[in-house]
Structure 1
């Protein structure tokens, strides 16, 4: 059942991630995308990729980057969602979006992405939001399209052989650029 964003936002606070958040963020991202725990939600990549989605080193690199941040959504002091934002001039990049699997499908993702877009627009003056999604993730891409993102058809090859991105379970993976005007 989809609930209104105002209800999904009840008790939700946003803040920039810090070094102290790294272990919790790694657990959150891994639980949303990989392994059996991810199958509780609908964003799992467990059938497409095995191995890790991120690690502490990768999250620390995002935190240390000069033109970006990781936004954390908390409820009762516990991280329930996160996303990466990067300032790329007139566009912002949105990535590493994760919502706890047991909370997916309740409208929380809509609230998080709206806050990320507001942050990019008001904080950096971005006129577009960019993201990349694995092109075979039709249900996920459709969800983004309902939020106003459009497929560009611009594909980037999946980094086969680089286990930092997971171990592919099929040979047809690529990233597609999605864009939304802010």
Structure 2
């Protein structure tokens, strides 16, 4: 794979919403997502997010949608939110054509930096669909551990996707972060 410049990171603004929605949809659903390994299209149909949801995340206190760009082009995004004693990580998407190039690892590192250094929060939490074993293993290789907690998938709420199976549920993962001295 050719070497590319390191991504730059910034917080999303309202002007970024259409590009974020398109990136998230392409990474999780539809044909383009099937090119990447993060797709959920075998588990869910329908939308992954919409403009209203993304605008809500951008506008909420203690919440940030982080963007990774190369040469001014959006290549990855995620959402972090301060929740009591931990940051929460979600809406993680990397352009399917650029997966396996280290962008996800770099963006996760930036999210951890924001939570730890800017918000002074000592841990990161996330939820992952239990059937996404490959993704869970990826997070485990980055120091995240399953907490043993589970949560129900929001069946009957199409804004989260239309399930293709009746056994979906969330598992929770966490990681202690290195606080700055």
Question: Same fold by TM (over 0.5)?
Answer: yes
In the alignment, which residue of structure 1 is the partner of 2:175? 180
In the alignment, which residue of structure 2 is the partner of 1:36? 31
Q: Secondary structure at the match of 1:39?
A: helix
What is the count of residue pairs matched by the alignment?
177
Match of 2:81 among 75, 86, 96: 86
In the alignment, which residue of structure 2 is the partner of 1:145? 140
* Residue 100 (str. 1) matches residue 104 (str. 2): no
TM superposition outliers: structure 1 runs of 4+ over 2 Å: none
* Residue 51 (str. 1) matches residue 46 (str. 2): yes
TM-score (norm 2): 0.95
Q: Structure 2: 5+ residue runs without aligned partners?
A: none
**1:77-99 Cα shifts (integer Å, max 9, x gaps):** 11100000101132100000000
**1:14-35 Cα shifts (integer Å, max 9, x gaps):** 0000000000000000000001
Q: Report how far residue 75 of structure 1 moved.
A: 0.5
Q: Secondary structure at the match of 2:140?
A: helix
Q: Structure 1: 5+ residue runs without aligned partners?
A: none
**1:14-66 Cα shifts (integer Å, max 9, x gaps):** 00000000000000000000011101100000010000000000100101111
8 Å contact 1:90–1:125 — kept in the other structure? no
CA distance in 1, matches of 2:77, 2:63: 13
RMSD: 1.2
